[in-house]
């Protein structure tokens, strides 16, 4: 439950494992399996930049990744929302989840642009690439400590505080609209984490798992806000280490670019 101030508290026991939570986590598991299969089959887990993908394929891959990474942390919101839905539950909750993932899929267009820039810098301007890598981690560290971060995180951690707002939505697209709005708040909470994911390499599986765990802990754990601050300080320290050893950010490391190019040339021959 939440109090008047919107502080996060554990959900009631009967709401902790709703059917929607089971379904969402099953979908997340399937998305993880598909993502890992895609990355390993095409040997993309260490490739920087856009990994040679066009915009449409990149956005499809990004949407699959977001399904895997974000659904485990969004189920408390869906569980609370589900208790307000009386009729057409499957269709309405499907629209809610679809709107949420739509917001993240659209963000994939911007991610494609950033990944392309990162890849070009790593290939042609290694000194600038190192500076960009450090800046990415600095941006994460600073943002993790800002009021905007905690406003967005509070929205994700305290869904009951926003039900009255969503209840005012009318029309057949009300659930889709609620999902999109919640997705945008979630994007506001997590965009800096996704930025450093691009610095590691978009389909770097250990980095993906680490980011997904950080997001889930921030949103669900009782001490999630304190944990978010720890992540911020750790990112600043890690950014300083990247300045010394660029290989710690393989998505912006020119040596990784050269190794991947040589491997692709060998495969083509």
Question: For the whole model, what pTM was predicted?
Answer: 0.83
- Number of residues written out for the chain: 269
- Distance from the first to the final alpha carbon of the chain: 61
Quickly count: other Cβ atoms within 10 Å of residue 102's Cβ. Answer: 16
Residue at 79 is within a domain: yes
Give the Cα separation of 71 and 33 in Å (integer). 14
Residue at 209 is within a domain: yes
Residue at 8 is within a domain: no
Longest Cα–Cα distance of the chain, Å, equals 66
Residue at 1 is within a domain: no
Residue at 182 is within a domain: yes
CB hemisphere CA count around 191 (13 angstroms)? 20
Q: What confidence score (pLDDT) does residue 78 get?
A: 85
- Residue whose tokens read 């499809």: 60
Q: What confidence score (pLDDT) does residue 257 get?
A: 54
Give the Cα separation of 199 and 239 in Å (integer). 11
Closest to 150 in 3D by CA, of 101, 188, 184:
188
Residue at 189 is within a domain: yes
Q: Which residues, 6 or more positions from 230, have their beta carbon under 8 angstroms from its beta carbon?
A: none
Buried-exposed string 78-96: b where 16+ CB fall within 10 A, e elsewhere: bbbbbeeeeeeeeebbebb
Instruction: Report how many domains make up the chain.
Output: 1
Quickly count: other Cβ atoms within 10 Å of residue 204's Cβ. Answer: 23
In tens, the pLDDT along 23-53 reads 888 999 999 999 999 888 877 766 778 888 9
Give the Cα separation of 18 and 217 in Å (integer). 19
Q: What confidence score (pLDDT) does residue 225 get?
A: 95
Give the Cα separation of 181 and 115 in Å (integer). 25
Residue at 140 is within a domain: yes
CA 151 to each of CA 146, 157, 178, 185, 235: distance values in angstroms, whole numbers, following the listed order: 9, 10, 18, 9, 20
Residue at 6 is within a domain: no
Tell me the residue range of the domain where 231 lies: 13-268
Render each residue's pLDDT in the chain as its tens digit; 269 residues: 444 344 444 444 444 456 777 888 899 999 999 999 988 887 776 677 888 899 999 999 999 999 999 988 888 788 888 888 888 888 888 899 999 999 999 999 999 999 999 888 888 888 888 899 999 999 999 999 999 999 999 988 887 777 777 878 888 899 999 999 999 999 999 999 999 998 898 889 999 999 999 999 999 899 999 999 999 999 999 999 998 988 888 878 766 554 544 444 443 44
Closest to 109 in 3D by CA, of 44, 152, 57, 65:
57
């Amino acid at each position: 439950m939440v109090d008047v101030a919107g502080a996060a508290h554990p959900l009631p026991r009967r709401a902790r494992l709703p059917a929607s939570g089971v379904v969402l986590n099953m979908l997340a598991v399937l998305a993880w399996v598909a993502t890992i299969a895609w990355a390993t089959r095409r040997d993309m887990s260490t490739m920087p930049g856009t990994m040679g993908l066009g915009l449409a394929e990149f956005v499809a891959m990004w949407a699959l990744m977001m399904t895997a990474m974000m659904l485990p942390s969004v189920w408390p919101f869906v569980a609370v929302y589900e208790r307000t839905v009386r009729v057409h539950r499957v269709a309405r909750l499907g629209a809610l989840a679809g709107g949420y993932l739509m917001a993240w899929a659209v963000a994939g267009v911007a991610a494609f642009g950033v990944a392309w820039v990162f890849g070009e810098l790593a290939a042609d301007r290694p000194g600038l690439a190192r500076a960009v890598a450090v800046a990415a981690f600095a941006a994460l560290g600073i943002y993790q400590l800002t009021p905007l971060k905690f406003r967005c995180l509070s929205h994700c951690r305290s869904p009951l505080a926003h039900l009255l707002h969503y209840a005012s939505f009318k029309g057949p697209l009300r659930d889709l609209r609620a999902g999109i709005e919640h997705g945008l708040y979630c994007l506001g909470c997590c965009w800096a984490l996704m930025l450093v994911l691009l610095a590691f390499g978009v389909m770097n599986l250990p980095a993906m798992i680490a980011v997904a765990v950080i997001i889930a802990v921030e949103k669900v754990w009782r001490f999630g806000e304190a944990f978010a601050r720890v992540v911020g300080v750790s990112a600043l320290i890690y950014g300083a280490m990247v300045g010394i050893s660029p290989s710690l950010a393989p998505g912006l490391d020119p040596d990784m670019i050269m190794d991947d190019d040589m491997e692709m040339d060998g495969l083509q021959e």
